[in-house]
Amino acid sequence: MDNPFLKPYDTPFEVPPFEQIEIAHYLPAVEEGIKQHQQEIEAITSNSEAPTFENTILAFDEAGDLLERVTTVFFNLNSANTNEDMQALAREISPKVTEHSDNIMLNKALFQRVKAVYDQRENLDLDAEQMRVLEKYYKDFERSGANLSDEDQAKLRALNQELSNLRLQFGENLLAETNKNFQLVVDNEADLSGLPEGVISAAAEEADKAGMAGQWVFTLQKPSLIPFLQYADNRDLREKIYRGYFMRGDNDNEFDNKEVLAQLVELRQEKAELLGFDNHAVYITDNNMAKTPENVYDFLYKLWKPALEVAKEERAEMQAIVDREGGNFQLASWDWWYYAEKLRKEKYDLDEEELKPYFSLENVRDGIFYVSNQLYGIQFERREDIPVYHPEAEAWEVKEADGTHVGVLYMDFHPRDGKRVGAWNTGYRDQAYKDGEKVQYPITSIVCNFTRPTGDTPALLNFDEVTTFFHEFGHALHGLFTDGPYQRTAGNVPRDFVELPSQIMENWAAEPEVLKVYAKHYETGEVIPDELVQKIVNSGHFNQGFATVEYLAAALLDMDWHTQEFAGDVRAFEKTALDRIGLIEEIIPRYRSTYFSHIFAGGYSAGYYVYIWAGVLDTDAFAAFKESGDLFNPELAAKFRTLLAKSGSDEGMVIYRAFRGQDPSPEYLLQKRGLK
C-alpha cells in the first residue's frame, strides 16, 4: 500500500499524486491493474445468469479502472517528461498491456456473452445510447479478431506485440534525432545577420546551457528552427539546419527509422488482411466518417489541384524577389520561409516580429479564457495546491459560471529534453457515471513546445503558436465538456471528427474583436493597434498555398503507405508517391516518412487527412457564428457545447447536423484558405 496507485488519491479532485509517484511504482501497479481487470472479466464470463446489457455490456464498460489510472499517467509522462529509465520501462510495460488487451478482446467466453446480447438487441428495450454502446463493443471485438480461428488469433497476438514495440522504437529514435543528435553552433557573430534579438538571446542561452558560452546554439525544436529559417541571411546555414530537420530518422545511424517504418507498414498490411480487410487504410477508414480510402483520396485530390496552383504562384513571387536582389539561384526548400517572410513584408507590410510583443504567453492564455467564458460561461482558477508532474506545468480548476466544478486542466508550455516534439492534448482521467450519476470529473492536459522566456522578456509567441494554443484548448474543452453515461461512447468520436472541437477554436484567435481583448504589448499594456489588426486580416490568405500543399502531401503520403504495395525501399517509395502528385521540389511534405510520428508512433495512421476533413466542419460551424452577427451567439454556443458533450452518442455527421441543421459546405474552407 506504499504504492500511490494502489490506494485512493488523497489530493484535490483526486488528481494523480505526482510528487509521490516513483518509477518503481509503475510496473507493480500495472501488474496489479491487469490482475484486477482479469478478475473483473472473469466475473462477467463466469456469471451463471443469461447475458444482459447490465451484467455483460455495462460490467465490461466499467471494468479496468486501476489499469487505466496507471497507464494514463505512465504513457502521458513518457511523452511529456521521459528519460532513459522511463523509456526502458515503456519497452517492458507496453508488451504486457498489449498482451492483456489481446487476452480480453480474444476471450471467447466474453465475446460469446457480448454476441448473445447483440443478437437479441432488438428485443431488449434498449434506449438509443445503450444500443450504440452495444453495437460499438460488438464491432470492437470483431475488429480485434474475436471471430478468427485459434491459429489466426495467435498470429494476431504476435503482430500486435511487434507493432507495439515498433511504434515505441520509432518515437524514441525521433526524440533522439530531434533533441540530441543535431545542433547548429554559430561562433561567428556575422552569421547571426537578420535574426531578431529575441532569437539570438535564446540561442545564447541554449549555448550557455550546453557549456558553449560566447557562442549561439540553434536546435531542431520549432521555436529555434522556424525563426532561423525565416530570418537568417546566411543561406548555407539555413540549408544546414533544414537538412538537419528533414533528414531526421534518415541518417543511416543507430536512430534510423527506415527499417522500423518498413516493418510497421508490412505488419499493418498483414494484420489488415488477417482481419479480412484489403489493406490497413480500409481497416482504419471503415471506422471513420470517410468510410473508404477512395473517399479520402477523392476529397484530398479536390483540394490538391487548387492548392498546388496557389503554391506555384507563391513560388514565382518569391523567385522574383531572389532575382531582384541578384540572388542568382533557384529557390530551394530551405529558402521558402526566408523569402515568404520578405513577401509578407512586401505585400502586407507585416513583420511577424512586429506582432510578437502583443502575444505574450500569459496574454494569449487570458484571451483563450475570455473566449471560453464568453461562449460557455466557464471560469478558470489557478490552483497551487494541485500536484503537478513537472515544475513547469500549471494546474487550473475549471468551473461553471455558478462555481460548479467542471474539471482540472494542466498546461505545460515549453520544450525540454524529455518532452517529445509538437503540441498535444491528453487526459489523466475521463468523466464517468455510476448508477446514472456522474461520479468522476475529467482531468485534461495541454502539452506544447512554445518559445521560452529569455532574460527579462516573457515567452512571446508567433501567430502560429497562438493558433496552436487555441487549437489544443479546443481539444481540452471537448474533454472537459464530454458528458455521457458510458465510457465506450462518451466523447469517443471517429478520428476524422476529433479535430473539429480543436480547429473551430482557431477561428476566434484572429478575429479583430477577440484580438482587441488579448493582444496587448507585454511592456506597455497597449492594445494591438487597428493598423496591425488590419494587416493580420489582410494577410489571412498569405502562404496558404504552401501550408495546404505541405499538409496535403503528407496526408497523401500517409494514405499511400497504407494502400500501395511497398517493395522495401523507403526513400524510393516516398519519392514515387510525391512525384505522382506533382509536388514541387521547393516544398517538402510537412512530415517526411522517417519522422512522421503521427502515423508511425501515434494514432493517425491512414488518418492524417482528418485535419483538413475536420477543416470543412470547423469552417462551416464557425460560419454559423459569423453569419449570426455575434461571435459569441449564446444559442449557437449552447448548441455547440451540446455537440461537444454528446459527441460519441451518435454518428459524427448526425451529431454535426444537430448543431448546424444541414450538411457542412466545403466552400468556407476554400474561402478561408484563398483557394477559390
**What are the catalytic residues?**
472
> What is d(CA 505, CA 480) in angstroms, rounded to the nearest whole number?
15
> What is d(CA 563, CA 155) in angstroms, rounded to the nearest whole number?
22
User: Burial level of 516, CB count in 10 A (0-12/13-18/19+)?
Assistant: middle
> What is d(CA 528, CA 348) in angstroms, rounded to the nearest whole number?
17
Residue 377 backbone class (left: φ over 0; alpha: ψ -120 to 50; beta: rest): left
DSSP-H helix ranges across 8-64? 23-45, 59-61
Does an H or E element contain 426, and which?
Answer: strand 424-429
Q: Three-class SS of residue 451?
A: coil
> What is d(CA 674, CA 472) in angstroms, rounded to the nearest whole number?
24
Strand duo 216-218 + 424-429: pairing: unpaired
As given in the structure block, the three cell numbers for residue 400 are: 461553471
CA angle centred on 647, ends 645 and 652, rounded to 5°: 155
Please provide the DSSP assignment of 567-610 as one string. Answer: -S-HHHHHHHHHHHHT--TT---SS-GGG-HHHHTSS-TT-TTH
Place of cell 517528461: 81
Q: Count how many Cα atoms sit within 13 Å of the Cα of residue 674 in the half-sphere of its side chain.
A: 19
Does an H or E element contain 154, and which?
Answer: helix 150-179
